[in-house]
């Protein structure tokens, strides 16, 4: 029998997955009955529930540093953004009129979460609800993103920052154009430099386009690990993985298993990165 949501109180992770129709896609079939029982909520998923292939850490593809803006005004703007604090960034994004997306926005949406997060998730751009509320991923795709985060033991705002490739809503939720992504890129680059996350997860093609440049199909990017150089991080390169956008997954249920593989691989990479950082840190004298 399928468990029902209790009439009051916060939803558990499993109930949340169930409520948005996800639990069958995110659970191993054999464990489904247990997983759906509200009184038996498991801890964040252990490694053995990740497909073996997802645990393999593949070769890292080095990325060239982000292309500099061309043209004097664009270069000056990009250099100014590269020196901004969070407060200045918020102010600049709020008043930005650098591309046509400013014309129909209700508000620009910089991002949300822990500004010292280990995990950075990047989506495409605000939709109608995000435009109204000023926070990324608060509509149906956001509910799915929250469920995806919960499935790997993460929570919005706790060691996670969520941003978008473009900060203003494209009219009718169209895909942002290359020029719009490029104009907004200095903001995203500055966010990455300020956060210096341990891992970046790109959600969908627009995010991949923003960070990796003109790229092939999403399928060709999945399973690869890219290295995003951040000069401000002392030459450290941040590993980057690509997966499907939650809005796409809401339309294409059959690809949820692949997204789950990607998240498992991302979690594995994060652990490896953390272990490497711990080893590199000088040990304190006893």
What is the binding site for ligand URA (CB under 6 A)? 123-127, 130, 136-137, 139, 141-142, 164, 247
Dist. CA 250–CA 241, nearest whole Å: 20
Min separation Cβ 141 and ligand URA, Å: 4
In the complex with ligand URA, the residue whose CB is nearer, 50 or 135, is 135
Min separation Cβ 90 and ligand URA, Å: 16
Dist. CA 201–CA 156, nearest whole Å: 14
Min separation Cβ 145 and ligand URA, Å: 8
What tokens were used for 228? 């995003």
In the complex with ligand URA, the residue whose CB is nearer, 26 or 137, is 137
In the complex with ligand URA, the residue whose CB is nearer, 124 or 146, is 124
Residues in contact with 247: Cβ distance below 8 Å, sequence separation at least 6, in sequence order: 140, 141, 144, 204
Min separation Cβ 161 and ligand URA, Å: 13
Which residue has the CB atom at the shortest distance from ligand URA?
A: 123
What tokens were used for 51? 């497909």
C-alpha distances (whole Å) from 5 to each of 8, 56, 155, 174 are 8, 37, 20, 35
Dist. CA 41–CA 162, nearest whole Å: 26
Min separation Cβ 55 and ligand URA, Å: 27
SS3 108: coil
In the complex with ligand URA, the residue whose CB is nearer, 35 or 259, is 259
In the complex with ligand URA, the residue whose CB is nearer, 35 or 207, is 207
Dist. CA 37–CA 46, nearest whole Å: 18
CB of 131 within 8 A of CB of 107? yes
């Amino acid at each position: 029998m399928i468990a029902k949501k209790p009439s009051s109180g916060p939803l558990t992770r499993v109930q949340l997955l169930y409520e948005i129709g996800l639990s069958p896609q995110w659970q191993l079939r054999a464990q489904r009955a247990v997983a759906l029982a509200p009184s038996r909520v498991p801890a964040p998923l252990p490694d053995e529930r990740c497909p073996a292939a997802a645990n393999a850490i593949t070769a890292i593809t080095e990325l060239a540093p982000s292309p500099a803006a061309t043209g004097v005004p664009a270069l000056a703007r990009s250099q100014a953004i590269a020196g901004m604090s969070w407060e200045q960034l918020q102010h600049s994004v709020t008043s930005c009129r650098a591309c046509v997306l400013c014309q129909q926005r209700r508000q620009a949406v910089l991002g949300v979460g822990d500004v010292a997060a280990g995990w950075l998730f990047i989506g495409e751009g605000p939709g109608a609800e995000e435009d109204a509320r000023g926070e990324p991923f608060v509509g149906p795709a956001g509910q799915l993103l929250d469920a995806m985060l919960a499935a790997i033991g993460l929570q919005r705002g706790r060691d996670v920052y969520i941003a978008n490739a473009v900060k203003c809503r494209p009219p009718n939720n169209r895909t942002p154009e290359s020029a719009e992504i490029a104009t907004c890129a200095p903001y995203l680059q500055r966010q990455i430099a300020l956060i210096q996350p341990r891992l970046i997860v790109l959600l969908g093609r627009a995010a991949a386009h923003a960070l990796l440049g003109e790229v092939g199909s999403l399928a060709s990017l999945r399973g690869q690990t890219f290295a995003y150089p951040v000069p401000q991080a002392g030459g450290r390169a941040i590993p980057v993985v690509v997966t499907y956008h939650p809005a796409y997954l809401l339309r294409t249920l059959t690809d949820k298993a692949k997204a789950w593989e990607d998240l498992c691989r991302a979690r594995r990479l994060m652990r490896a990165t953390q272990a490497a950082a711990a080893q590199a840190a000088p040990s304190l004298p006893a």
